[in-house]
Structure 1
Amino acid sequence: MENFKNKFQEYLLLEKNYSLHTVSAYLNDIGFFESFLANAFDDANLISVNYNQIRAWIVSLSDDGLSNSSINRKIASLKSFYKFLLKTKQIDSSPLLKHKALKAPKKLQIPFSEKELDLVLNQINYTDDFDGIRDKLIVDLFYTTGIRRDELINLKIQNVDLSNSTLKVLGKRNKERIIPILPIVVDQIKRYLFERTQLQSITDAAYFFLLLKGVKLNNSFVYRLINYYFSNVSEKVKKSPHILRHTFATHLLNNGADINSVKELLGHSSLASTQVYTHSSLAELKKVYSSAHPRSQK
């Protein structure tokens, strides 16, 4: 079975082009399910499992207090695993063939306001050293490009083109896209690059963003950084890089950007993914409509 899981890991990384973070989550879900089977059923294993046994795991997860959304994510990992086993002819049919996802409420992501972004970018006193200059650039790059956290972490220095004011990022499924950068951000990049040359040692020289000790950033560092700076200006529950990406899209749409252009900037493969961000812009539109239409004054 370990051999199957190793091959599944290779499949996710090499064929599906999933990130290391996603692959780790998938394997953890499968490991948890395998442990459940060993404890709950004497003769069950990942290959011979039936849907009733999977259903028992779902009930167990629910009893443990997991939300339907979290359970659906874990089942998605199993679905992918059994799809792989089916593809490699290890099984004849998937035990999840007729499974329907649990109903889960859609969570409306609340973007930061333009005022909150102005406070973070213009009112906070960042330290005038490598760390402070880098931190402010990270915040501004998230907000002005809509870049994903993994894309920012893995941004290569060779893909930052200051002469054309663009970034080339490698998105999901190894899909490349070019993102324009604003002049004010170009100036920040130049300042950051100078400070970068002053580091005592650099291990991960190919990567654009580095920690002070010269190694590339990691997921938790970037999340903590965004959470820290926005905690100073915002009472919103969730303060993350993804909310900044959401804010980028929402503010563009609020200010009249074409949704297809926003789709390309975000690197979405379908318009349906981008339409998630129209909920917030619709709220803004309603506000303008209510204040401007003559009938609203009656």
Structure 2
Amino acid sequence: MTERTMMNANTEGAYLRDVGRRLRALTPEQRGAVLDDVRAHFADAADAGRSPEQAVESLGDPATFTARVRAELGHDDGRADRIRRVLQWTAVGTAAFTGMFVSFLWPDDSLPGLDARYDEHGFGIVLWNLLPAVVAAVPVAVPARARTVVTAVVALVLTVLTGTAQTVFVPTAMLAWAALVVPVLARTGRPAVGWRVVGGALAGLPALLTLGGVVAGSFDTDVWTVLALVAMLALGVLIALGKVWAGAVLAALGVVAMVWATLSPGLLFLGVWWGGGLFLALGLSHVLAHSAARPSARG
């Protein structure tokens, strides 16, 4: 290999590495197809007697070229961050609502280890019950480069809190994990079919468990309750099929279930509360992950 050939190879290799690095947000298949096209462009330039530098000039510098590729593919550079922010702020709102409920409205000490009545513990218990909301808000305030790591740490911390006396913050932990996972799954568009099936199965799980209890005779129910459970199973199937509106309906049902649980706390409070939190996290994640990407303004 001559010195000039080596220089040409170095120029092409450097350009390919830079382009590949800038296209990491694309799927492996998309990135591979783009890199193959770049290699073909360099090969065609060589056959025509043009230098690698001239080939680079016709493609544009890596930043300009990759911006054009992302625009042509309909890739939205801010999509993952928008999904993360919506889920994080929903987690913060859910945690704040939960903290206020257990501080001022929780009627007794029926949750093991949780005595959150304001008249017994004063304002300190309010601060303690608002701590998960503060923790959930941390990723919003950190630089973008550290956001993924901080989001993972926050999800772990909230999970640990739910394993102690703060069991009512399970929905907050669910949303925190969604803020970590969903942006990755949806960074280049709709998640794969397998993930939709998993989401649909989780959405239908509470209904399946309840129907199992009905069949086993564990508790009595009526026709309307059975129809409602069947409807929830149907929502799970529609989510597995990728229907966006089904996620919106599921999220709305989750909010209704959580509000209803706070208005009528009883023996089944935690089951309804956790089920509502699951519906909210799954439904909102589904809507965000399947929403259309915004076209890039750069071309």
- TM-score band by shorter chain is under 0.3
Whichever structure has more helix as a proportion of its residues is 2
Q: Which has the larger radius of gyration?
A: 2
Q: TM-score, normalised by structure 1?
A: 0.24
Whichever structure has more strand as a proportion of its residues is 1
